[in-house]
Structure 1
Amino acid sequence: MTARPPLPYDGRHVLVDFHGCAARLDDIGLVKRALRDAARVADATILDLNLHHFGDGQGVTGVALLAESHMSIHTWPEHDYAALDLFLCGRRHDIDAALAVLAEAFAPAEIAKRTIARGYGVAALVE
Protein backbone atom coordinates (compact mmCIF):
# COMPACT_ATOMS: atom_id res chain seq x y z
CA MET A 1 0.00 0.00 0.00
CA THR A 2 1.37 3.40 -1.00
CA ALA A 3 1.23 6.14 1.60
CA ARG A 4 -0.88 9.13 0.62
CA PRO A 5 0.75 12.55 0.71
CA PRO A 6 -0.51 14.75 3.54
CA LEU A 7 -3.40 17.07 2.81
CA PRO A 8 -2.58 20.77 2.78
CA TYR A 9 -3.51 23.32 5.44
CA ASP A 10 -7.27 23.40 5.68
CA GLY A 11 -8.37 25.70 8.46
CA ARG A 12 -7.81 28.01 11.38
CA HIS A 13 -8.90 27.64 14.98
CA VAL A 14 -9.02 30.96 16.82
CA LEU A 15 -9.40 31.17 20.61
CA VAL A 16 -10.39 34.63 21.78
CA ASP A 17 -10.88 36.32 25.14
CA PHE A 18 -12.92 39.54 25.25
CA HIS A 19 -12.18 41.59 28.38
CA GLY A 20 -14.06 44.70 29.50
CA CYS A 21 -17.09 44.15 27.28
CA ALA A 22 -19.43 47.15 27.10
CA ALA A 23 -22.30 45.07 25.69
CA ARG A 24 -24.88 43.25 27.80
CA LEU A 25 -23.39 39.78 27.98
CA ASP A 26 -26.61 38.43 29.52
CA ASP A 27 -28.60 39.35 26.37
CA ILE A 28 -29.31 36.03 24.61
CA GLY A 29 -30.79 37.86 21.62
CA LEU A 30 -27.58 39.83 21.15
CA VAL A 31 -25.48 36.67 21.40
CA LYS A 32 -27.67 34.88 18.84
CA ARG A 33 -27.54 37.79 16.36
CA ALA A 34 -23.78 38.13 16.80
CA LEU A 35 -23.14 34.44 16.07
CA ARG A 36 -25.45 34.51 13.03
CA ASP A 37 -23.83 37.66 11.67
CA ALA A 38 -20.32 36.30 12.28
CA ALA A 39 -21.12 33.11 10.35
CA ARG A 40 -22.68 35.15 7.52
CA VAL A 41 -19.68 37.45 7.02
CA ALA A 42 -17.31 34.46 7.19
CA ASP A 43 -19.37 32.87 4.38
CA ALA A 44 -20.04 29.84 6.59
CA THR A 45 -23.18 27.68 6.63
CA ILE A 46 -25.09 27.38 9.91
CA LEU A 47 -26.47 23.88 10.45
CA ASP A 48 -27.80 24.59 13.95
CA LEU A 49 -27.62 27.35 16.53
CA ASN A 50 -28.09 26.37 20.15
CA LEU A 51 -27.95 28.80 23.09
CA HIS A 52 -28.61 28.59 26.80
CA HIS A 53 -29.21 31.49 29.19
CA PHE A 54 -28.31 30.78 32.82
CA GLY A 55 -30.85 33.20 34.31
CA ASP A 56 -31.46 36.84 35.09
CA GLY A 57 -28.17 38.75 35.05
CA GLN A 58 -26.20 35.61 34.32
CA GLY A 59 -24.28 34.48 31.26
CA VAL A 60 -25.07 32.82 27.99
CA THR A 61 -23.40 29.85 26.37
CA GLY A 62 -23.93 29.11 22.73
CA VAL A 63 -22.65 27.25 19.72
CA ALA A 64 -23.19 27.69 16.02
CA LEU A 65 -22.70 24.29 14.43
CA LEU A 66 -21.34 25.01 10.95
CA ALA A 67 -20.90 22.89 7.87
CA GLU A 68 -17.32 24.19 8.07
CA SER A 69 -16.93 23.43 11.83
CA HIS A 70 -18.16 25.70 14.67
CA MET A 71 -18.26 29.01 16.54
CA SER A 72 -18.96 29.11 20.27
CA ILE A 73 -19.22 31.68 23.04
CA HIS A 74 -19.45 31.64 26.82
CA THR A 75 -20.18 34.90 28.65
CA TRP A 76 -19.66 36.08 32.22
CA PRO A 77 -21.50 39.40 32.56
CA GLU A 78 -20.40 39.78 36.18
CA HIS A 79 -16.81 39.99 34.88
CA ASP A 80 -17.53 41.79 31.55
CA TYR A 81 -15.81 38.79 29.94
CA ALA A 82 -16.55 36.45 27.03
CA ALA A 83 -14.60 33.43 25.76
CA LEU A 84 -14.95 32.58 22.07
CA ASP A 85 -13.87 29.62 19.96
CA LEU A 86 -13.95 29.99 16.17
CA PHE A 87 -12.95 27.09 13.93
CA LEU A 88 -13.43 27.28 10.17
CA CYS A 89 -12.18 24.76 7.65
CA GLY A 90 -11.34 25.88 4.15
CA ARG A 91 -9.35 28.85 2.93
CA ARG A 92 -12.33 30.71 1.49
CA HIS A 93 -13.86 31.51 4.88
CA ASP A 94 -13.04 34.85 6.46
CA ILE A 95 -12.48 34.15 10.16
CA ASP A 96 -11.08 37.66 10.69
CA ALA A 97 -14.32 39.21 9.42
CA ALA A 98 -16.27 36.96 11.80
CA LEU A 99 -14.12 38.10 14.71
CA ALA A 100 -14.59 41.76 13.73
CA VAL A 101 -18.39 41.32 13.82
CA LEU A 102 -18.20 39.71 17.26
CA ALA A 103 -15.91 42.47 18.55
CA GLU A 104 -18.34 45.11 17.27
CA ALA A 105 -21.27 43.35 18.96
CA PHE A 106 -19.63 42.97 22.39
CA ALA A 107 -17.34 46.05 22.38
CA PRO A 108 -14.44 44.62 24.40
CA ALA A 109 -11.82 46.98 25.81
CA GLU A 110 -9.19 44.29 25.25
CA ILE A 111 -8.94 41.27 22.94
CA ALA A 112 -6.56 38.34 23.49
CA LYS A 113 -6.34 36.05 20.44
CA ARG A 114 -4.57 32.77 19.71
CA THR A 115 -4.64 31.19 16.25
CA ILE A 116 -3.87 27.55 15.51
CA ALA A 117 -3.45 26.18 11.99
CA ARG A 118 -5.51 23.00 11.56
CA GLY A 119 -5.31 20.22 8.97
CA TYR A 120 -3.38 17.15 7.90
CA GLY A 121 0.29 17.75 7.33
CA VAL A 122 0.29 21.02 9.27
CA ALA A 123 2.52 21.55 12.25
CA ALA A 124 0.65 23.44 14.97
CA LEU A 125 1.10 27.15 14.47
CA VAL A 126 0.06 29.32 17.36
CA GLU A 127 0.05 33.10 16.98
Structure 2
Amino acid sequence: MNSKKDQVDKSLLGKRIKNIRQAAALNMAEFGELILGANKGLVSKWEKGSSIPGYERLKKIAELGGTSVEELLSIESMRGVPPFNFSLEELNVLEKVIIKALEEEHSEAFRKSLISSLEKINIRRVELQDSTN
Protein backbone atom coordinates (compact mmCIF):
# COMPACT_ATOMS: atom_id res chain seq x y z
CA MET A 1 0.00 0.00 0.00
CA ASN A 2 1.44 3.39 -0.99
CA SER A 3 1.56 6.04 1.69
CA LYS A 4 0.79 9.69 0.99
CA LYS A 5 4.54 10.35 1.22
CA ASP A 6 5.07 7.96 -1.72
CA GLN A 7 2.82 10.21 -3.85
CA VAL A 8 4.51 13.56 -3.15
CA ASP A 9 6.49 13.95 -6.38
CA LYS A 10 3.53 13.11 -8.59
CA SER A 11 1.28 15.31 -6.47
CA LEU A 12 3.55 18.32 -7.00
CA LEU A 13 3.55 17.81 -10.75
CA GLY A 14 -0.23 17.35 -10.62
CA LYS A 15 -0.64 20.60 -8.72
CA ARG A 16 1.45 22.41 -11.31
CA ILE A 17 -0.69 21.02 -14.11
CA LYS A 18 -3.90 21.98 -12.28
CA ASN A 19 -2.58 25.50 -11.67
CA ILE A 20 -1.81 25.91 -15.37
CA ARG A 21 -5.29 24.68 -16.34
CA GLN A 22 -7.02 26.94 -13.84
CA ALA A 23 -4.91 29.94 -14.82
CA ALA A 24 -6.08 29.38 -18.40
CA ALA A 25 -9.70 29.30 -17.11
CA LEU A 26 -10.31 25.91 -18.73
CA ASN A 27 -12.28 22.95 -17.48
CA MET A 28 -10.65 19.51 -17.67
CA ALA A 29 -12.29 18.61 -21.00
CA GLU A 30 -11.23 21.87 -22.65
CA PHE A 31 -7.72 21.59 -21.27
CA GLY A 32 -7.42 17.97 -22.40
CA GLU A 33 -8.52 18.87 -25.93
CA LEU A 34 -5.64 21.37 -26.10
CA ILE A 35 -3.20 18.78 -24.74
CA LEU A 36 -3.22 16.51 -27.78
CA GLY A 37 -6.81 15.36 -27.30
CA ALA A 38 -6.49 13.95 -23.77
CA ASN A 39 -9.85 13.13 -22.22
CA LYS A 40 -10.92 14.73 -18.95
CA GLY A 41 -10.38 11.46 -17.07
CA LEU A 42 -6.72 11.50 -18.05
CA VAL A 43 -6.38 15.17 -17.08
CA SER A 44 -7.92 14.28 -13.72
CA LYS A 45 -5.32 11.52 -13.23
CA TRP A 46 -2.51 13.97 -13.99
CA GLU A 47 -3.87 16.53 -11.55
CA LYS A 48 -4.35 13.93 -8.82
CA GLY A 49 -0.81 12.71 -9.36
CA SER A 50 -1.85 9.20 -10.29
CA SER A 51 -0.47 9.43 -13.83
CA ILE A 52 2.34 11.30 -15.56
CA PRO A 53 1.79 12.86 -19.00
CA GLY A 54 4.08 11.76 -21.80
CA TYR A 55 6.75 14.10 -23.09
CA GLU A 56 4.78 15.59 -26.00
CA ARG A 57 1.89 16.36 -23.68
CA LEU A 58 4.24 17.84 -21.10
CA LYS A 59 5.55 20.16 -23.83
CA LYS A 60 1.99 21.30 -24.61
CA ILE A 61 1.18 21.80 -20.92
CA ALA A 62 4.36 23.80 -20.39
CA GLU A 63 3.64 25.90 -23.49
CA LEU A 64 0.12 26.63 -22.27
CA GLY A 65 1.54 27.60 -18.87
CA GLY A 66 4.14 29.92 -20.39
CA THR A 67 6.95 27.81 -19.00
CA SER A 68 9.20 25.01 -20.17
CA VAL A 69 9.21 21.27 -19.57
CA GLU A 70 12.45 22.00 -17.72
CA GLU A 71 10.58 24.21 -15.23
CA LEU A 72 7.51 21.99 -15.09
CA LEU A 73 9.67 19.05 -14.02
CA SER A 74 12.14 21.18 -12.08
CA ILE A 75 13.90 19.12 -9.47
CA GLU A 76 15.04 22.34 -7.78
CA SER A 77 11.48 23.33 -6.89
CA MET A 78 10.96 19.91 -5.34
CA ARG A 79 13.76 20.27 -2.77
CA GLY A 80 12.97 18.46 0.45
CA VAL A 81 10.62 16.07 -1.35
CA PRO A 82 11.54 12.39 -1.21
CA PRO A 83 12.69 11.68 -4.79
CA PHE A 84 11.44 8.93 -7.04
CA ASN A 85 8.98 7.05 -4.88
CA PHE A 86 7.32 5.70 -8.00
CA SER A 87 6.27 2.25 -9.15
CA LEU A 88 8.40 0.47 -11.77
CA GLU A 89 5.90 1.39 -14.48
CA GLU A 90 6.00 5.06 -13.46
CA LEU A 91 9.80 5.01 -13.33
CA ASN A 92 9.84 3.71 -16.91
CA VAL A 93 7.57 6.55 -18.08
CA LEU A 94 9.61 9.15 -16.21
CA GLU A 95 12.83 7.74 -17.64
CA LYS A 96 11.45 8.08 -21.18
CA VAL A 97 10.42 11.69 -20.50
CA ILE A 98 13.90 12.53 -19.18
CA ILE A 99 15.68 10.81 -22.08
CA LYS A 100 13.48 12.72 -24.54
CA ALA A 101 14.29 15.99 -22.71
CA LEU A 102 18.02 15.20 -22.96
CA GLU A 103 17.67 15.09 -26.75
CA GLU A 104 16.74 18.80 -26.75
CA GLU A 105 18.79 21.93 -26.10
CA HIS A 106 19.05 22.77 -22.39
CA SER A 107 21.49 24.49 -20.08
CA GLU A 108 24.41 22.39 -18.87
CA ALA A 109 23.13 22.63 -15.29
CA PHE A 110 19.73 21.25 -16.29
CA ARG A 111 21.33 18.47 -18.33
CA LYS A 112 23.37 17.47 -15.26
CA SER A 113 20.17 17.50 -13.20
CA LEU A 114 18.46 15.23 -15.76
CA ILE A 115 21.41 12.82 -15.74
CA SER A 116 21.37 12.80 -11.94
CA SER A 117 17.65 12.05 -12.08
CA LEU A 118 18.30 9.10 -14.41
CA GLU A 119 20.84 7.76 -11.93
CA LYS A 120 18.29 8.05 -9.10
CA ILE A 121 15.70 6.28 -11.24
CA ASN A 122 18.10 3.39 -11.81
CA ILE A 123 18.89 3.16 -8.09
CA ARG A 124 15.17 3.20 -7.23
CA ARG A 125 14.45 0.57 -9.91
CA VAL A 126 17.04 -1.77 -8.35
CA GLU A 127 15.55 -1.15 -4.87
CA LEU A 128 12.07 -1.99 -6.13
CA GLN A 129 13.26 -5.10 -7.95
CA ASP A 130 15.19 -6.26 -4.86
CA SER A 131 12.13 -5.77 -2.65
CA THR A 132 10.02 -7.98 -4.93
CA ASN A 133 12.54 -10.84 -4.93
What TM bracket, shorter-length normalisation?
A: 0.3 to 0.5
TM-score of the aligned structures, taking structure 1 as reference length: 0.33
Q: Which has the higher strand share?
A: 1
1 or 2, which has the higher helix percentage? 2
Give the TM-score, by structure 2 length.
0.32
